[in-house]
Structure 1
């Protein structure tokens, strides 16, 4: 049953190709050739697309959120590691996740990955040094 269906599909494709060839031959016979004088296209005005050269400066339409979050993640990671602040380590992990989620394919994956690993190590090290649950920074103000 599948082979019958595939045969019918191939027959339809062949029929479509034949109809296309007939239509093209008809158009060529009616107009004399494919390059007609009444053709509104202007070949001298055609310009091939050239992608812009990659530059280090930011283009006005470029989103810099991944870069900012990457830097913030590294700063908070260092604060979490050096000052043993658990909330800084968690904010660093949050910033690294945002940076990873908003990154493009052509972004530097090594830098994003290193920021992510640094923030994970800040969380792990802060809990290895002090396994007590995290208390929010404003908890001391409320007492």
Structure 2
């Protein structure tokens, strides 16, 4: 599986830890920035990861800022992206099983490293359940078609 990852300055350190973790597990990782702790604007990186997933360059994405809120909002503006802000493994599991989320958003200032890595592993190892949830994802896609 090919994963794009991006963060602002607040998420930079966690991004680097997650990137290393994923590479050690055999994932191909495409780093969309930022590349330092220098202050940057999170929407640019939410958009870059969102486009990477939407355009098929990568299978899934991970975005990180201080809370995960702003960068998830930004990623969700890209057609085809279903970014889920997750603060625990249950949310990560359900975002995949029920919503077929394709981008995981994390907050570096609200999560410890071990929990963040566990959330990432859960998100990447959980499959979409389909069934009644597929109908709901199609409804989300229809909203997107009308408004984007």
Q: Does the alignment reach a TM-score above 0.5?
A: no
Taking CA–CA contacts closer than 8 Å with sequence separation of 6 or more, which of the two structures ends up with the larger relative contact order? 2
| Greater fraction strand | 2
Query: What is the TM-score when the length of structure 1 is the normalising length?
Result: 0.28
